Amino acid sequence: MSARARGRRAGESGTRTAILDAARRQFAERGYDRPSLRSIAQEAGVDPTLVTHFYGSKQQLFVTVAEFPFDPAEVLPRLLAGDPESVGLRLARFLLGVLETEEGRARITGLVRAAASEPEAARLVREFVTRDVISPLVESLGAKDAPLRASLVGAQVVGLVMARYVVGVEPLASCDADTVAAAIAPNLQRLLTQPLE
Amino acid sequence: MSARARGRRAGESGTRTAILDAARRQFAERGYDRPSLRSIAQEAGVDPTLVTHFYGSKQQLFVTVAEFPFDPAEVLPRLLAGDPESVGLRLARFLLGVLETEEGRARITGLVRAAASEPEAARLVREFVTRDVISPLVESLGAKDAPLRASLVGAQVVGLVMARYVVGVEPLASCDADTVAAAIAPNLQRLLTQPLE
């Protein structure tokens, strides 16, 4: 994009593109909290009122540019490969692995935090649980009540994100990732493959 | 409180009391979403800018009047009475029982939603997990690593609240409460009394 297209004089679509590019970069590099509508507008070379006009709130802007920090199509086969009796541990380690990188943590905590008040973010979290990752995993494992299992796994994952990374419940918040993965793996395993009741 | 004390002319402390009374009543009766700073100010007989001046945001006001919808001192002995091998089921049924009442659900989802962005609400949720309810329960059960267990139980509870009541992940969101209690009880039981790894 040319310098001119980033400025105010570009048409609406150029302005939107500049805002989204700036938002994507700032959320990815600085997390959810630090960027402001003002800092994003500044980088995009537009007036902050334009950002509000097009996207409303920071949460809405975040949701518009949100992407999972991994590719489900690449992750699923990796989780399904190997002994079904240890898929809970593989899922736990994969999740902790993503959450322990700065970018992954920023994106996922941003999404979960936004989901608490923004219906569009809630929809993205539901899709993660019910369509993109957990449901295909549960269905491939073949246990009955797959949809309920998938939503219970989702509850466990969202709870871990909230308790360890958002609310900061100790000692869970400062515990090393391997200990956390080992502690939650049997619960995930039960929800994935063992009798529910 | 007299009608006069509710008005603007009362001193700052009378004004604060009127705002808190109105907030407590509206959050209890109408949940977290429906009351606005304006509706609370109207009931308190004060100008909305005064509510903002004293309490900042609706979230901060909510946190100021937040109380658990039960008395931990009454609940704990009830959870601890009986077979330690079924304490997970008793805890699950107790939590679902609270969450299935309109008042209990409004208070707890309000607190969890606020915790996603309000540090003071996050502190209340941590206290629930680490001091008032779950920690005393875990410590009474005598398993080692009690603090980590308590925070993992907290993660499970917060995750259930988010997934079933805030984000609305199906079929968990519309599943009957007994099925949900039975499905999460073994995971709570493991975190409460069984080996962690």
pLDDT at B10: 53
pLDDT at B7: 44
pLDDT at B68: 75
Q: Could you tell me which chain B residue has the CA closest to the CA of A134?
A: B169
Q: Residue A175's CB: how many other CB atoms inside 10 A?
A: 17
- How far apart are the CA of B66 and the nearest CA of chain A, in angstroms? 17
Contact B197 A191 (CB under 8 A): no
Q: Using CA atoms, how far apart are residues B12 and A64, in angstroms rounded to an integer? A: 43
Residues of B in contact with A187 (CB under 8 A): 156, 187, 190-191
Q: Is B168 on the interface with A (CB under 8 A)?
A: yes
Select from B151, B164, B175 the residue whose CB has the most chain A CBs within 10 Å, as the one to mutate to test that interface: B151
- Tell me if the bond preceding A186 is cis, omega within 30° of 0: no
Higher pLDDT, A146 or B27: A146
Q: Could you tell me which chain B residue has the CA closest to the CA of A196?
A: B183
Q: Could you tell me which chain A residue has the CA closest to the CA of B114?
A: A116
pLDDT at B3: 44
What angle, rounded to 10 degrees, do the helices at A87-99 and A177-193 form?
140
Contact A155 B148 (CB under 8 A): no
Residues of B in contact with A148 (CB under 8 A): 171-172, 175, 179, 183
pLDDT at B94: 94
- Which residues contact residue B71 at a Cβ distance below 8 angstroms, ignoring those fewer than 6 apart? none
* C-alpha dihedral, A68 to A69 to A70 to A71, nearest 10°: 40
* C-alpha dihedral, A164 to B170 to B186 to A100, nearest 10°: -20
Per-residue pLDDT, averaged over B132-157, amounts to: 90
pLDDT at A10: 53
Q: Give the model's confidence band at B147: pLDDT under 50 very low, under 70 low, under 90 confident, else very high.
A: very high
Q: Which two tokens stand for residue A47?
A: 């007036």
- Residues of chain A predicted below pLDDT 50: 1-9
Confidence check: pLDDT of B36 > 80: yes
Select from B148, B152, B196 the residue whose CB has the most chain A CBs within 10 Å, as the one to mutate to test that interface: B152
| SS3 category, B124 | helix
Contact A116 B169 (CB under 8 A): no
pLDDT at A34: 78
Q: Which two tokens stand for residue A84?
A: 């079904």
CB B143 within 8 A of CB B192: yes
Per-residue pLDDT, averaged over B48-63, amounts to: 87
Contact B125 A183 (CB under 8 A): no
- Which residues contact residue A66 at a Cβ distance below 8 angstroms, ignoring those fewer than 6 apart? A107, A110, A111, A114, A121, A124
Closest in B152, B171, B187 to A147, CB measured: B171
Contact B170 A196 (CB under 8 A): no
Q: Is A129 on the interface with B (CB under 8 A)?
A: yes
Specify the pTM: 0.80
Closest in A151, A164, A196 to B155, CB measured: A164
Q: Using CA atoms, how far apart are residues A125 and A109, in angstroms rounded to an integer? A: 11
Distance between the two ends of chain A, CA-based, in angstroms? 57
Q: Is B63 on the interface with A (CB under 8 A)?
A: no
Contact A159 B162 (CB under 8 A): yes
Kind plus residue range of the DSSP H or E element containing B109? helix B102-115
> How far, rounded to the nearest angstrom, does the alpha carbon of residue A131 sit from its chain's CA centroid?
14
Contact B167 A126 (CB under 8 A): yes
* pLDDT tens-digit series, residues B114-134: 888 777 778 878 887 788 888
pLDDT at A3: 44
Per-residue pLDDT, averaged over B40-49, amounts to: 94
Hey, which of A128-132, B55-59, B134-138, B151-155 has the most confident mean pLDDT? Answer: B151-155
Query: Which of A17-21, B25-29, B30-34, B78-82 is least confident?
Result: B30-34
Residues of B in contact with A188 (CB under 8 A): none
Residues of A in contact with B165 (CB under 8 A): none
